[in-house]
Structure 1
Amino acid sequence: MAETVPVRCPACRREHRYTAPAYPCVCGAPVAPPLDRHRAATPVAHRVWQDDWVTVRCASCGRRGEWPRPELGCPCGVVLRVPVADGDALAGQDTAATSTPAPPAPAGRPPFRSVTIRTALDAVTATALYLRWLGYRDVRRADQRPPSGIGLAARGVVAQVDPAVRPATLRDVECLWLTAMTESADCLYFSVAGYADDARARSDALGIPLFVLDLTGTPRPVNAPAHALAATGTKNRAP
C-alpha cells in the first residue's frame, strides 16, 4: 500500500496526512521514495535543481533512478519538502499509486505512467519520466539553458520543456535544433500550449519530434517523427 505519514506545517501548525506518490520504473513497477516519519518537513525557500530529486532503488529490478523529491502544498501558501529516509532507498508500491496510466505501450514496453500537471515542475517531471520510458539514459538538467522553458538532457538527446501558456514559436524550435547540433545529439520538444504553424512546419522539415503535454502529464505526439519515436522508443535503450 502507498505510504502515508503525518506532516505538520511549521508556519501555520496545520497537520496533514501525506501519501507518497509512485512513479514508473523502466521495468514497469511503481516506485515511491520511502518517507522518514521521524523528521519534520521543511519549507522550500528557493529551488535548486539537484535538491528536487532523490535517488531510489526499485524493489522489483534493483535499478537506481532519480525521482522527484516529495513535496506538499499547505493551504497557507507554504510548500513543504517531506523528508525521505536516508541511505540506499529501496522502494516499491502496488498499482494503486497516484500516477496516471496511459494507453498500453507497443512492443512489450510497460504502459507509461505520469503525474498530473499543476506546476512547471510537474511538466518537467512528466517529461523526464517519459524520456526514461522511451529508453533514454541518465536524464538530467541540461547544461545549456534554452531561451524559453527548461532544458533536459540524456545520453544522445536534448529536450526542451515549455510550460508557457503561449504556443512554442519557430525561434524556440530552431534554437533547440541548433543546441542539439552543437552537441551532436537528437532533440525533442515538449509543450503545454502546442506549437505555432511555422514551428510545426520547420520541425517536420528538420525531423524534430514534437509532443504536447496534456494536464494528465501524458505527452501526446503531434507530428510524424514524434509518432515514430513513441511507437518504437529510442535505439539507445537502457539495459
Structure 2
Amino acid sequence: MTQSGMPVRCPVCRREHVYAPPTYTCGCGAPVVPPLARGAAVAPVTDRTWADAWVTVRCQVCGRQGQWPQPELGCGCGAVLRIPVRTPPVTAAAHIPLPRTAPAPRPAFQPITVRTARDVVTVAALYLRWLGYRDIRGAVERAPSGVRVAAEGVIALIEPSVRPLSLRDVECLWLTAMAEATTCLCFSLAGYEDAAHARAQALSVPLFVIDLTGTPQPVNSPADELLATGA
C-alpha cells in the first residue's frame, strides 16, 4: 500500500517540495500509510504536544484504528512542516476483527497463588502462553518500571509491585512495540492510573490486573477482545 508524492509548498520560504508518507505495520501485519489530505493547508510546527504528535489511521485490511507519528517535512529554510492527514470517521466500534475460524476452546487457566514479585512475573508469562503467544523468553528485561517479557509477536510489561502503572509506562511500552513492529500488553498487581488506563484504551493496548489468586483479569476492552480471541 503506497501513496504517490504530494506537492508541498513551505509557507515560510515558499519553496516547493514533494512529500511521500512513510509506511508502518499494523498489528495484523498489513502495511499502513497515513492518508494525506491533499489540498489542505500545510502549517509550520511552532510547539509540540503529545496529541499533535500522533494521528489516527485505520488499517484498510483489518479495520483497526491505530496511533502513528504525525507526518512532518523539514524544509531547507529550517521550518518543520506538519503534513495534514485525513482522519477516519468516528464509529461506534473502534475495531472490527477479521472473521476467523472458531478456535478450539482453551482449557481453563490454572492460576498460581501470588506470594512474591517473582510469582507475578511467572503468572504473566504463563498467561501469555495460555493466550496463544509462543517462544516466551526465559530471561526477563528490567524496564524503567516493572519487567518486560518478550514472546513471539508481543512485548508485555509486568509491574509486580504495589505501584500502579503510569501514563508514561504505557506510552513508553507502546513506542517500543511500534519501533519493533509488534504488539504489546500490560499486567499489573496494583492496577493503573486513570491517565494510563485512558491512553491504553486509545492506543488499543490490553490491560490486565493480576489478583493474589494468580488470575489475570481484563480491565479494558482491548484486553476483553484478546481474552475472547486469543493471540
TM range (shorter): 0.5 to 0.7
Q: Indicate the residue corresponding to 2:151 in structure 1.
A: 154
Query: What is the alpha-carbon distance in structure 2 between the residues aligned to residue 187 and residue 194 of structure 1?
Result: 17
1:211-235, CA deviations, whole angstroms, 9 ceiling, x for partnerless residues?
000001110000000000011101x
Aligned mates of 2:140, 2:127 — CA distance in 1: 20
Q: For structure 1, which segment, 201-210 or 179-188, has the greater mean C-alpha deviation from structure 2 after superposition?
A: 179-188
Gaps of 5+ in 2: 1-102
C-alpha displacement of 1:145: 3.3
Considering only aligned residues, what root-mean-square deviation do their CA atoms show, in Å? 1.5
What's the TM-score once normalised by structure 2's chain length? 0.54
Higher RCO structure, 1 or 2 (CA under 8 Å, sep 6+):
1
For the 8 Å contact 1:142–1:158, the answer to whether it is kept is no
SS in 2 for 1:176: helix
- 1:203 — aligned with what? 200
Alignment partner, residue 165 of structure 1: 162
Question: So what's the TM-score if we normalise by structure 1?
Answer: 0.52
Q: Are 1:125 and 2:87 matched, yes or no? A: no
Structure with the greater alpha carbon radius of gyration = 2
Check 1:141–1:177 CA distance in 2 against 1; reply closer, same or farther (3 A cut): farther
Aligned partner of 2:193: which letter?
A
Give the aligned length.
Answer: 129
Name the SS of the counterpart of 1:131 in structure 2: helix
- Give, in whole Å, the separation in 1 of the partners of 2:222 and 2:196: 14
In the alignment, structure 1 segments of 5+ residues that lack a partner are 1-105, 235-239
Q: Return structure 1 stretches of 4+ with deviation > 4 angstroms.
A: 141-144
Is 1:193 the counterpart of 2:190? The answer is yes
Aligned-pair identity (%): 64
Instruction: Report the alpha carbon displacement of residue 181 of structure 1 after superposing the two structures with TM.
Output: 1.1
CA contact (8 A) 2:140 2:147 kept: no
Superposition deviation, residue 191 in structure 1: 0.3
Residues 143 and 163 from structure 1, CA distance in 2 versus in 1: closer, same or farther, beyond 3 angstroms?
Answer: closer
Q: Secondary structure at the match of 1:158?
A: strand
Aligned to 1:145: 142
Deviations 1:79-137 (A, max 9, x none): xxxxxxxxxxxxxxxxxxxxxxxxxxx95111000211111110011001000000000
- Structure 2: distance between partners of 1:142 and 1:199: 26
Aligned residue number for residue 177 of structure 1: 174
Query: Is 1:146–1:176's contact at 8 Å kept on the other side of the alignment?
Result: no
Partner of 2:109: 112
